[in-house]
Amino acid sequence: MRILVGGSWITVLCALLTAFWSVPQYLATGTVTLSSHPLFVTLFLFPAQIGVPVSLLVALNSVLLLVRHQLTTIPRRVLAGGQILTVTFLVICALLLVMPNAFGREFIVMALAFQIGQVVVATGLALHLYRRRRFRTHYQSVGSN
């Protein structure tokens, strides 16, 4: 479970950083492009190089946890589903890019696909934190009696 939760924190943070670059650019120009701007490296390139491989690792771990029936809570299922969804979106985008009829706009979808899947993961993290807090306060109140 540590890989699932810890890796999800990393991927959500990386997706948030890439969103700071790609979402404003997409809204302003209708496209996401490479740039020589110094913030491009900090907000897009490095986080993407870290977030995507970690997402692949966590998605693989999620599949293993699913096969072993260890995704017993809703937050864990949402986390695993979000990571698998992220990787599925990225694979579809990569396949579309290598198709002979690709026209380049698939790269736009690839930049946003990582962030869309990570919104689900962020929801799972919020549920995970809520559940931990609820149980912590419950056990503290039981312990004081």
Q: How far is the CA of 48 from the CAs of 35, 36, 40, 53, in angstroms?
A: 14, 16, 11, 8
Closest by alpha carbon to 128, among 84, 83, 66, 77?
Answer: 77
112 neighbors 26 (Cβ within 8 angstroms): yes
- pLDDT band at residue 68 under the 50/70/90 scheme: very high
pTM (predicted TM-score): 0.85
- pLDDT at position 124 is 97
Closest by alpha carbon to 93, among 104, 107, 80, 103?
Answer: 107
Q: Could you read off the pLDDT of 69-116 as tens digits, one per residue?
A: 999 999 999 999 999 999 999 998 888 888 888 776 666 677 788 889
Q: How far is the CA of 123 from the CAs of 38, 77, 120, in angstroms?
A: 31, 11, 5
Q: Could you read off the pLDDT of 36-60 as tens digits, one per residue?
A: 888 888 888 899 899 999 999 999 9
> b/e map of 102-123 (b: 16 or more CB within 10 Å)?
eeeebbbbbbbbbbebbebbbb
Q: Which of the pair, 139 or 110, is modelled with greater confidence?
A: 110
141 neighbors 105 (Cβ within 8 angstroms): no
| Composition of the chain by helix, strand, coil, percent to 5 | 85, 0, 15
Q: Which of the pair, 114 or 119, is modelled with greater confidence?
A: 119
- pLDDT at position 111 is 73
What ranges do the domains of the chain cover? 2-144
